[in-house]
Structure 1
């Protein structure tokens, strides 16, 4: 398959790889490979007529490599339980992890140095990062002169590990430092919440922290251990409504909500839905979401319904400034109102896991909104997973592709259209240009009509049949091969392509063999043998270079041999007349050579439509010059032959050959052959 990339012919490809597996730490993050790509590589279908070897091939090799190192024996922290740890001068950092179950909206890590004295009370740095070990640019806090420091992570991803790293700065003291580390998980209130999305409390195993008894359950958020000044839980602590999953086909999944598809949104609270995408099976399609507002439910109030789609953790929408991002979390925002009733969102190749959709109705005019009083908005929610965006539309084709064990779908656009769903018309061909290019490629084959008439007049009936076959299938092949919507196919595309290629090669073959003026029996054998060998060669490799050059060179060799033998016997150059060379052979050879040069070295993707049309006309015109005239027959009988009569005769009884008379039958007229 030929793919196009806007890269230089010699480029260095750098690939950034980051593992999302908590137990895998990439040690080699950047890799490069030198890739050789042609500067203007056309698409395979548009250049399918070109044999391989006459143009730059669309061949490339991308082979990224990743070296990973697994992190083993990472200490697991028990939420709400302090643990004493030490850092020695030889080991200047320590890594810990804690599992975040569902409905957790904040993770806080607290570090307290033990027995520290002097100016530098606690020379430690505390770093926090979800799903991967912290780096230099992760959230961090330096304890410095304070004996206690704290770091918080708001809205951590549910069902993943959060990593905590404690390290000594490069200019830290060269002594052993003792400290206490405590991690707390602040969760939403348990009543009326279903915790079936991601089971996680059992993941925080205490084995790595000793055999001391576990502390009691953390107090509720209303009586947080942080004191009476603790903040109340945020508004995203609303019940999450599950959805039903209905698998129809590959990358074709519909998600249904209970008592749907209409959703009533009261003014006092939002609605949160969970969409579960399975690993591998759902990552190769397009996640589509559609919202449609029922205007009759607004009661003439200026209501706007906002939707926020986030991955792994729901995000609430504020009353005033409506945003779908907060700190390190960002989602997709969409809205519907009385002026814009429908909103659509499409995510190609979505990340697997749980996606959360938060819907909320607000009143007023942006950018600041207020909470509605009595209006209960009603929206129609439609969520599904499809192979391609809108089935690629009229200018593309949705194809199911496989790379090793990864299955995915993608649009193959045509006529210059681009984009995920072939909707980008920046470089698209207009309908008039598509029609003009189709007419040029099809009507240029009418130049074969003069060679057909000339071949019939010269009694080259078989050659005329081959030219007619070529003209017919070349016309309809190019009508079916167009990249746009001006396409007309009378039969399968592969059949049309095979017949076009076979007719083109057979036209060259029969023309050169006819120029050699061989005996009728030899010529017919060569015609039949050429048709069978060319059919076999095209079946093996339809775009091979030698499928065009091989028969042409072999036919030219037969032509040169026949003309050389005839010239030696006659002791005169053949063809004997200079007019034949000047007015027919030389112009025909120049026209055919020009056509081959245009075909091989000038034709590109941009000028294909008119250069290939010129190729049709030049090849057909060269046949009219190169086809030899009708052989002259001498009907005069020498006088000596009349005097001698029949001479030696071989008489054949015609009726006896047909089995019409018996052995004893009467004598009938015979046919004599001298």
Structure 2
């Protein structure tokens, strides 16, 4: 390391089945001994707060990483202490221990030259060496590899990793099948290791589900507990054979356990990290050592606690902890002898947890090209699977909201009666259609358990929206007092256009405002034409304006304002019920009275007595025949 440089950064790739990474600084020479510090970090260069090893205080200067991450880069940072003058020469060696072949150790090779502050990787099956100084040469100037002492841990072994078969069913719906499974045999002397590979992007938006079920009949009466450790990147299989933890200094996983008492264990990981997940299963037999110490503690405290050998486990743990005794969970297990436990293993990906239950709906969302699934909870429920009822609505509140939304549609009964009395039969049919489908749509739309659906939800929603818009449309067109043929054409055209608009966007505000404004425009044109032709304001009576049109218009405007600006998800239950009441009430005010029958001339009354009477031919009066060819029947004799 030159005087003007303060650090050198290197990297080495750690392949699979690597149980240990050993980084060592050798042949360090400088002005003040070995004024270097060594830092090692996985996946990224070391930070200033990473663990540093001072080579002046440690001989040999080496850092070891047990159970390193597989298929990742490890970065080695060598720093010079501040204020050290001159050049410092050193040699960095990185030894990778292959856990599948612990007896294999190839001496690392030294590169002929290397540039400072640039990453370099020189690998072999056994190790790697990095540095600035030229390699040592033999007397005949032939380069030879420099042997490095290899310290192998006899306890470190690498067990075969059984792959899983991937079967994609749907989006975020993948099942992982085990060869010769799903029943797995866990021998007593070694763990059973499985790998689950999650693809990038495709598998990160769902939920990883893992289920363990113990076959109690395979235990042969022994007190066996099967522990499962699910970890990302590397299997946690080394360490103490009696340890039940699933973590090391640099790694942490998910621990599962099944025994004769609790034979089923489930684990769910929302939005799992992609890559390789390793599941290590091992069986341990419980001993009475830790439990006996806790029972002895109960005997000592017999004057305070009255309990027997069958005391609750949590009480034993508390008493043992208060006396400083070892925990039964840590000291009460040992390797089994001749018991092979059988476990049913199921691993799969699902979009949501339990399909969000009855209080939620599983939806697929996309954000910045990332597709993921999430639960949309209702009725105040929260959580990953809509299982948190801290703010959930009570049954009484759900029943009340359902009754409000459904029974508020009874307000359409008066408009139906008024329409039938005024001979507006088509309008009455539309109001009945709206009342029926609005009632059953809101009975099916409830978020809780007070739900009743007579048909598919989508059909009910479409019919409810169509009926609401058609009620507004036919009411305003009826107010325009158009010719029957024109009115029928507008009714049919409005039904088709509204169906098209609802198919494009059912929740758009303009689906309501657009048809309403268009119908109001038609009515305004018709009323203006009548006013000009009659030279009198239409409708002609002030009572019609004061008692019907103005109140109905104010009620309808209030309903539209509530729907557009006040209604939210929180107040939906009562604001939408008020919307039903206002809309139905406005229809009762705005529907025009019955149209007067057309004036037609009937036969003249016959006078009593004798004589002749001149009769008027009805067809001639209406201009249907020519007066010159009037028949003799036009003159009647009484």
Q: Structure 2 regions of 5+ residues with no counterpart?
A: 105-122, 136-141, 288-327, 606-613
Aligned partner of 1:66 in structure 2 is none
Judging changes above 3 Å, is the alpha-carbon distance between structure 1 residues 123 and 413 closer, same or farther for their aligned structure 2 residues? Answer: same
Shift of 1:400: 5.0
Shift of 1:323: 1.5
Judging changes above 3 Å, is the alpha-carbon distance between structure 1 residues 217 and 448 closer, same or farther for their aligned structure 2 residues? Answer: farther
Whole-angstrom distance in 2 between the partners of 1:331 and 1:181: 32
Question: Which of 563, 572, 579 does residue 543 from structure 2 map onto?
Answer: 579
Shift of 1:203: 11
Q: Would you say 1:97 and 2:11 are equivalent positions?
A: yes
Residues 502-651 of structure 1 aligned to structure 2 (within 5 Å): 502-570=466-534, 572-633=536-597, 637=601, 645-646=617-618, 647-648=620-621, 650-651=623-624
Aligned partner of 1:184 in structure 2 is 95
Question: Is contact 2:93–2:130 with CA below 8 Å preserved after alignment?
Answer: no
Question: Is contact 2:95–2:126 with CA below 8 Å preserved after alignment?
Answer: no
Judging changes above 3 Å, is the alpha-carbon distance between structure 1 residues 287 and 192 closer, same or farther for their aligned structure 2 residues? Answer: farther
Shift of 1:279: 4.0
Shift of 1:449: 1.9
Whole-angstrom distance in 1 between the partners of 2:622 and 2:596: 27
Judging changes above 3 Å, is the alpha-carbon distance between structure 1 residues 176 and 93 closer, same or farther for their aligned structure 2 residues? Answer: same
TM-score by length of 2: 0.75
Judging changes above 3 Å, is the alpha-carbon distance between structure 1 residues 652 and 446 closer, same or farther for their aligned structure 2 residues? Answer: farther
Whole-angstrom distance in 2 between the partners of 1:355 and 1:636: 91
Shift of 1:354: 2.7
Aligned partner of 1:324 in structure 2 is 246
Question: Is contact 2:36–2:55 with CA below 8 Å preserved after alignment?
Answer: yes
Indicate the structure with greater helix content: 2
Shift of 1:405: 6.0
Question: Is contact 2:214–2:259 with CA below 8 Å preserved after alignment?
Answer: yes
Question: Is contact 1:411–1:420 with CA below 8 Å preserved after alignment?
Answer: yes
Aligned partner of 1:356 in structure 2 is 278
Aligned partner of 1:149 in structure 2 is 61
Question: Is contact 2:209–2:350 with CA below 8 Å preserved after alignment?
Answer: no
Question: Which of 344, 348, 362 does residue 381 from structure 1 map onto?
Answer: 344
Whole-angstrom distance in 2 between the partners of 1:570 and 1:281: 72
Question: Is contact 1:243–1:258 with CA below 8 Å preserved after alignment?
Answer: no
Q: Structure 1 regions of 5+ residues with no counterpart?
A: 1-86, 194-199, 219-223, 654-666
Aligned partner of 2:213 in structure 1 is 292
Greater radius of gyration (CA): 2
Judging changes above 3 Å, is the alpha-carbon distance between structure 1 residues 269 and 216 closer, same or farther for their aligned structure 2 residues? Answer: farther
Whole-angstrom distance in 1 between the partners of 2:128 and 2:153: 28
Question: Is contact 1:319–1:362 with CA below 8 Å preserved after alignment?
Answer: no
Judging changes above 3 Å, is the alpha-carbon distance between structure 1 residues 402 and 216 closer, same or farther for their aligned structure 2 residues? Answer: farther
For residues 364-400 of structure 1, what are the alpha-carbon distances to aligned partners after superposition, in whole Å with 9 as ceiling and x for unaligned? 3424223155462514131322223334434444455
SS at match of 1:176: coil
Question: Which of 416, 423, 434 does residue 470 from structure 1 map onto?
Answer: 434
Question: Which of 311, 325, 335 does residue 257 from structure 2 map onto?
Answer: 335
Q: Would you say 1:423 and 2:345 are equivalent positions?
A: no
Residues 387-426 of structure 1 aligned to structure 2 (within 5 Å): 387-388=350-351, 389-399=353-363, 406-426=370-390
Judging changes above 3 Å, is the alpha-carbon distance between structure 1 residues 400 and 519 closer, same or farther for their aligned structure 2 residues? Answer: closer
**Is 370-379 or 463-472 further displaced after alignment?**
370-379
For residues 389-441 of structure 1, what are the alpha-carbon distances to aligned partners after superposition, in whole Å with 9 as ceiling and x for unaligned? 33443444445555676554444444444333333333334454444433332
Aligned partner of 1:481 in structure 2 is 445
Whole-angstrom distance in 2 between the partners of 1:273 and 1:325: 18
Judging changes above 3 Å, is the alpha-carbon distance between structure 1 residues 390 and 234 closer, same or farther for their aligned structure 2 residues? Answer: farther
Aligned residues, how many? 551
Aligned partner of 1:172 in structure 2 is 83
SS at match of 1:290: strand
SS at match of 1:479: helix
Cα-Cα RMSD:
3.8
Judging changes above 3 Å, is the alpha-carbon distance between structure 1 residues 518 and 272 closer, same or farther for their aligned structure 2 residues? Answer: closer
Judging changes above 3 Å, is the alpha-carbon distance between structure 1 residues 217 and 116 closer, same or farther for their aligned structure 2 residues? Answer: closer
Whole-angstrom distance in 1 between the partners of 2:342 and 2:396: 43
